[in-house]
Chain A
Amino acid sequence: MDLRNPPEASRDDVLEKLILDADGLRRALTRIAHEILERNGGPHDLILVGMRSRGAPLAHRLSSLISQFEGTAVPVGELDITMFRDDLELRPTRPAIQPTVIPRDLTGTTVVLVDDVLYTGRTVRAAMDALLSFGRARQIQLAVIVDRGHRELPIRADYVGKNLPTARHEQVEVRLREVDGTDEVVLLGQLRSGTNHA
């Protein structure tokens, strides 16, 4: 948890709206796990690849849900796409690279990319380019918790927890207990001046 900017709505200028609580997030993940199995006719030749950083714990959760439903362990990979970003030149220093672990050759498998929020689509584009280094997947599908619109590339998700129309200046945060200590999805927006904040 970032103690300089506590997530509770005590910041003077940011309004925080709860979109999904812990139960809502759990139900969305359960539904997505079922949809993945339904769409692919079972767990075979499947691999879940979580995009750093919050996609990785989400991918692990989906894998254990699928295990519960089907009794089969679906392998989980973790992918850091930093080096494939298209905006590296715009940053004054290089972002730190987190570990990438892809447990098998992807040739012939169906890869389900997992991320928390789908926005411009550039991160997913970078992830697909990164995946090409690991073999020729038979299919790549995309699962996200929130689709907030404003795509800048022709990219779409196969599995969506919640469709959430947003304004560009707003921010969507998916908080997970593995990373943030709590499970929730919130929408952060600027308050107009003169408004009482919650």
Chain B
Amino acid sequence: MRRKDVLDLDDFTADELREVLETTAAMKEVLARPIRRVPPLRGKTIVNCFYEASTRTRVSFELAAKNLSADVVNITASGSSVEKGETLVDTTRTLQALGADMVVMRHGASGAPYLVARELEASVINAGDGWHAHPTQALLDLFTVQSRLGSVEGRRIAIIGDILHSRVARSATWGFATLGANVVLCAPPTLLPIGFADAVHTGLRAKGIATACPVTVTHDLGEALRDADVIMALRVQRERMDTGLLPSLREYAREWGITRERIAQARFGAIVMHPGPMNEGVEISPEVAYGPQSVIEAQVTNGVAVRMAIMYLLAGGRAGPAV
């Protein structure tokens, strides 16, 4: 894999995705060793630049970097010069001057990491930008499905929730569709994406991938769940009630919540995923979240391994022709 940045999965080929998944398996083995440390990023500095709050993602990146023997610096928006009005570009130029080798960025504005990637020589990993993309989450979802079900190709993946505002759903759709899975996006009518499925089809054709299974979009939960191998529940954000897109959490839970009755409508042995943090009792019932079909804990473990894989693959030397 020869690339400078990981900003979204829309420009990943199927081979690149497979390379990441294979490397992730190797990193997962490293995490099982008595000493979980390997040296490929020794002497490298990785800066976590989080303009949006996050605990699990930031810690996951930090652990991944440290397991690869890198030095880690954490920047959060509060308590930094951002409060003094420093612009994004100025902040990143400062990071470059300080010798950052890699920047992991989460930002509220879609596209922010792309601007930073253009300005920096260092590699940029998108840890979530606005509603747009969250590529490392999608990669760990791909890895989790592959580990648990043995394959991604041909699987039916039902993503349920606020698709319109979900960067997780978008990146997951790109990733799963590129590897030949059948993706169904299901949301209340007010929260369905607009034009996204078409964009994915166009993008897949441009990558030379003939889609046997186009991405489908529906507000019919029963149809989405039928024959699903994977049920991915997305977090409901309270802001959606404030803006009138959802009437109440109780109605959402009743109509869209992933409960034991709902998962019974899917294929036998289907797995249940959630990017976290969960609103138990709203988009997912506790008995499903902690039940035998849930792989939510595995997702978190796999997240560290996937981020190690990405950092390892990106930090390839800048030397000339292949040795």
Contacts and interface: CB of A to CB of B under 8 A. Distances in A.
A3 interface: no
Interface stretch (B25-33, B161-169, B190-198): B25-33
Across the A-B interface, the 5 shortest Cβ-Cβ residue pairs: A97-B26, A133-B35, A83-B38, A89-B317, A83-B40
A94 B33 contact: no
Given A84-B39, A132-B35, A93 B322 contact: yes
Nearest to A98: B26
Contacts of B319: 89-92
B220 interface: no
A97 to B, nearest CB: 4
B39 A90 contact: no
A155 interface: no
Given A84-B38, A92-B322, A100 B26 contact: yes
14 contacts: A83-B30, A83-B40, A88-B316, A88-B317, A91-B316, A91-B317, A92-B2, A92-B316, A93-B2, A94-B23, A96-B22, A102-B33, A132-B35, A133-B38
Q: Chain B interface: which size bin?
A: 20 to 34
A90 B37 CA distance: 21
Interface string B13-47: 00000010011011001100111111110000000
A92 B2 CA distance: 8
A100 B29 contact: yes
A80 B25 CA distance: 13
A72 B33 CA distance: 27
A83 B317 contact: no
A142 to B, nearest CB: 21
Given A83-B40, A99-B29, A100-B29, A94 B316 contact: yes
A83 B39 contact: yes
Contact of B322 (A91, A99, A102, A130): A91
Interface centre among A84, A88, A97 (most CB of B within 10 A): A97
A69 interface: no
Contacts of A91: 316-317, 319, 322-323
A99 B26 contact: yes
Contacts of A90: 317, 319, 323
B34 A134 contact: yes
Contact of A133 (B37, B313, B315, B318): B37
Contacts, number: 71
Contact of A92 (B19, B23, B29, B318): B318
A92 B317 contact: yes
Chain A interface size, as a band, is: 20 to 34
B1 interface: yes
Interface string B285-323: 000000000000000000000000000110111111111
Contacts of A134: 33-35
A133 B33 contact: yes
A73 B239 CA distance: 63
Given A94-B40, A96-B22, 12 more contacts: A80-B26, A83-B40, A84-B39, A91-B319, A92-B319, A92-B321, A97-B22, A97-B23, A133-B30, A133-B34, A133-B35, A133-B38
A99 B30 CA distance: 10
Interface in A9-67: none
A129 B69 CA distance: 14
A17 B189 CA distance: 73
Interface in A77-133: 80, 83-84, 88-94, 96-102, 105, 129-130, 132-133
A84 B313 CA distance: 14
Interface in B99-147: none
A94 B319 CA distance: 12
Nearest to B26: A97
Nearest to A102: B33
A140 to B, nearest CB: 16
Nearest to B35: A133
Contacts of A80: 26
Contacts of B29: 99-101
Interface string B149-160: 000000000000
A5 B319 CA distance: 26
Interface string B233-244: 000000000000
Interface string A157-186: 000000000000000000000000000000
Contacts of B321: 92
B3 to A, nearest CB: 10
B23 to A, nearest CB: 6
Contacts of B313: 94
Given A88-B317, A100-B29, A94 B35 contact: no
